Amino acid sequence: MNSNPASVLVIDDFHPSFVKQLEASGLQVNYKPDFSPKSDLSLLNSAEIIAVRSKLNFTSKILSDLPNLKCIARGGAGMDNIDEEYARKNNIVLLNAPEGNRDAVAEHTIGLLLNISNKINQSFDEVKSGQWNREANRGWEIGGKTIGIVGFGNTGTALAKKLSGFDANVVAYDKYKSIDSPYAEEIDLEEMLKTADVISFHVPLTAETQGMVNTELIGQMKAGVVLINTSRGGICKLSDVQLGIISGKIKSFGTDVLENENLGSWTEKERQVVNDLISSNQVLITPHVAGWTFESYHKIADVLALKIIEYTTKAKNI
């Protein structure tokens, strides 16, 4: 960084507090929420710091054309729209804000679970059509069940805390860290798969986690398991989940994400799999909104602004 005030190019929509905090710290901000990847890529050429949510995928090809880039700040938790390996090899600092939406995602996860366990959507649809089926919509309670959390970062930790009032047995597994929490017991993945009544996934999308929920993993699970995914769609192979539901291995599936969320680009096979899932009263799908609340919109802005300010302050003093 030179002695001039650092400049931040913002190419996505952020809460107004984001720009206010950056400018108040002395940073120059070029706010372009209407940035278009098709026509505005030249804006990136001189940028040292870029703030983005999901407007652009920073592939190695795009990154290689940005020699001045020092830092990418992602307004969210996942970094799957950035080639992290290329960025790190080329000393591009990556910042994100998982602290900003962890509560939103955790609450949405519980919302999916409560909806599934109490058949809320199904019974409401029936009431709308003039049916009053009490026995067919008998639910089951979370209390006393074993709920497994795969991935114990910001969201997994928040979920365990929020589940603490349900009198469930909460267990957690994280490949990369030990779990020290009053709200969850550490367990290995093999044991979780055998014993958990509910398994909720909270892992980033990486080459390692891509398609991790597949026929092989599902085959190791307890019969009648409930699966929840509010992380990234790519970790679940939907066609394998569908087969698990058909076989009875999976009792219910709730997801906020899909492998391909660009509905207009679906292949016939992708469309058929999703349609089959939607037609089942054992499945609940929401449109990638778990982390997108009014509160998280503000929190993400505050968290990310602070991290950018800390980064520029540190860079200035080096």
Q: Which strand ranges, in their side-by-side order, compose the sheet holding 225-229?
A: 185-186, 169-173, 146-150, 198-201, 225-229, 250-255, 283-285
Residue 316's pLDDT band, with cuts at 50, 70 and 90, is confident
Quick one: tokens of 253? 């599936």
Residue 70's pLDDT band, with cuts at 50, 70 and 90, is very high
pTM of the model: 0.93
pLDDT value at residue 87: 97
pLDDT value at residue 265: 96
- Decide if 102 is catalytic: no
Q: Which strand ranges, in their side-by-side order, compose the sheet holding 49-52?
A: 28-31, 7-10, 49-52, 71-74, 93-95
Residues sharing a CB contact under 8 Å with residue 204, sequence separation 6 or more, in sequence order: 77, 78, 79, 80, 151, 231, 232
Query: What distance in Å separates the CA atoms of residue 12 and residue 28, rounded to the nearest whole number?
Result: 16
CB 174 within 8 A of CB 156: yes
With the C-alpha atoms ordered 22, 23, 28, 30, is the resulting torsion angle positive or negative? positive
- In the three-class reduction of DSSP (H, G, I as helix; E, B as strand; rest coil), residue 83 is classed as coil
- Decide if 232 is catalytic: yes
What mean pLDDT is predicted for residues 115-121?
Answer: 96
Angle of helix 98-118 versus helix 154-163 axis, rounded to 10: 40
- Decide if 99 is catalytic: no
Catalytic residue among 126, 270, 288, 298: 288
Domains of the chain with CATH codes? 7-96+295-317 (3.40.50.720), 101-285 (3.40.50.720)
Quick one: tokens of 31? 């706010």
How confident is the model over 194-213, as pLDDT tens digits?
999 999 999 999 999 999 99
Q: Residue type for 98, please?
A: P
Catalytic residue among 85, 261, 295, 310: 261
Query: What distance in Å separates the CA atoms of residue 200 and residue 226, rounded to the nearest whole number?
Result: 8
With the C-alpha atoms ordered 264, 268, 270, 271, is the resulting torsion angle positive or negative? positive
CB 255 within 8 A of CB 228: yes
What mean pLDDT is predicted for residues 69-90?
Answer: 95
Q: Residue type for 117, please?
A: S
Query: What distance in Å separates the CA atoms of residue 127 and residue 150, rounded to the nearest whole number?
Result: 36
